[in-house]
Amino acid sequence: MRPVALPDIGAEAVLLAGGGRAILLQLAKPAVGHAVADHSDFAADPLRRLRNTLTYVYALVFGTPQQVAAVTAMVQRAHAPVRSETYDASDAELQLWVAATLYETATTLHERVFGPLDAASAERVYRDYAVVGTALGMPAALWPADREAFSRYWQRQLAGLEVDDRVREVSVQLLRPASGPLWMRALMPIARLATAGLLSPALREAYALPWDDRRQRRFDRLMDVTARLYPRLPARLRHWPKNHLLKRLG
C-alpha cells in the first residue's frame, strides 16, 4: 500500500468539521485574534473566512501554477492593511501558527475518522503541510524540523493562548451567525458541537462554550457515526468541496 500524502488528506470534505476549531485556535493567539477583530466581519459574511482559507489550501495542494499564484496574491492583498503596533498579518511567526492549526486540526480529524497514519505517511504529510505557510513567504526553516519538534512547538503555543472579550465576541459571530444562508444556520448546532468537542477543555472554558457529560456523549456519537459512514461515501461526494472551490477559482 502506498503511503498517504497531503493530497489524500486534503481532499476530504470531513475536514470541514474542524474549520471552527482551527479558527478558534488561530484567534486565541492574541495578535491574530485582535487583527481579525479589527479587520474582519464574521457577522456580515460568516462563510467568507472559511471559504477563502479552504480555497487557499486546495489551490496550494491541487491547483495549477496559475491558481496558486492567484490565491497567494489574494491572501497577500487581504493581509497588506492588517497591521498595527501589536500585529502584522505578514509576520512569519503568525503565518506559522495559522499553518500549524490547519495541520494539527486536519490530522486530528483524519485520525478520528480513518484511524492513525503509519509512520511514513504521517511524516510525509507533516513535511508537505509546510507549504501552507511558505507559499506566503514564511521561511521553510521556521516549520519545525519533524513531528517531535512540532509537538514541542504546539505545546508551547497552547500554553500562551489567551481569549479576551474582543476575541470571544468574534467567536460568537462565527458560531452563532445572525446572517448567512438558511442551510448554514441549520447546521450550526452540529458545527458548535464539533467545534467545542475538538477543543481542549481549557479553550472551551476560555470561549465560554458550554460542555457537560451529555454534550460529550453526543460528540462521541457524532464522531463514531462519521467514522463508520463517511469513508464509505463515494469519492465524488467526499471531494466535492475541493472540486467546487477549485472550479470557482477558475
Which SS3 state, helix, strand or coil, does residue 88 take?
strand
Residue 161: which pLDDT band, with cuts at 50, 70 and 90? very high
Q: Is residue 92 within 8 Å of 139, Cβ to Cβ?
A: yes
d(CA 217, CA 223): 10
pLDDT for the residue 124: 94
pLDDT for the residue 3: 73
The number of C-alpha atoms within 13 Å of 107 and in the hemisphere containing its C-beta is 24
pLDDT in tens, 42-92: 556 666 767 888 888 899 999 999 998 888 888 777 766 666 666 676 788
